[in-house]
Amino acid sequence: MIIELKDVKKEYVAGGEKIEALKGVNISINRGDFVAITGSSGSGKTTLLSIMGCMETATEGDVRIGNRDVDTYSDREKSLLRANYISFVFQNFALMDKYTAYENIELPLLNAGVKRRERKKRIHWAAEQLGIKDQLEKRPREMSGGQQQRVAIARALASSPQVILADEPTGALDVDNTKKIMEILTDINKCGTAVVVVTHEKEVAAYAKRTIRMEDGCIV
């Protein structure tokens, strides 16, 4: 079991009003899983993803990552989980504009303490997998949306994570690029990495082995 959530609740206070984003969610992500989380806007799917990635903490319930309760992880350990156990792919690519593609891919490897030579090897391997080897010295603004998302996926892939959490990874892409990106994620999944994709597109969800639908903070 890579990630396991049991009866997880999440509450926010916004504008003095209490909002229940998750109302007792149960989900488990296993090795080799390809899960699509679908649902309308505000259904809680992104909150669920951020709790899975230790970016947020649950108000109630158990969250276990790597068979260990996340509450027992220190902040540094949670950061290290995000550096080499869990990786993210975001809709807006989340690339740092001032850094080259190479340096963007390098970020989690630096944080994981990977040595220089090994970093270089892994970056080139990931770039080759994604077909962006000739783009490594470019900055994000010099690339197309599809290329930027490939760099983002290469960054997620380079640290050899157990799971990739992708939040609307094709939301900013055209049909052609959507297809290519989903094929890349499918290939990654075939190599054993679990993939969790948050999406509201049926075509994207169709690539997943399992689809979870969310409505009003609950899995339906």
Q: Is 36 in the site for other proteins (CB under 8 A)?
A: no
Smallest gap from Cβ 93 to other proteins, in A, equals 10
C-alpha distance from residue 79 to each of 75, 76, 133, 187 (Å): 6, 5, 28, 27
Of 55 and 218, the one with the shorter C-beta distance to other proteins is: 55
Residue type, 120: K
Q: How far apart are CA 106 and CA 151, in angstroms?
A: 11
Of 113 and 190, the one with the shorter C-beta distance to other proteins is: 113
Q: Is 134 in the site for other proteins (CB under 8 A)?
A: no
Q: Dihedral, CA atoms, 130, 136, 139, 141, nearest 10 degrees? A: -30
Q: Is 98 in the site for other proteins (CB under 8 A)?
A: yes
Q: How far apart are CA 7 and CA 210, in angstroms?
A: 20
Q: Is 149 in the site for other proteins (CB under 8 A)?
A: no
Of 57 and 190, the one with the shorter C-beta distance to other proteins is: 57
Please provide the DSSP assignment of 112-146 as one string: TT--HHHHHHHHHHHHHHHT-GGGTTS-GGGS-HH
- Count the site residues for other proteins by CB under 8 A: 38
Which residues of the shown chain bind other proteins in the complex (CB under 8 A)?
Answer: 41, 45-47, 49-50, 53, 55-56, 75-76, 78-80, 82-84, 87-88, 90-92, 94-96, 98-99, 103, 107-108, 110-112, 155, 167-168, 171, 198
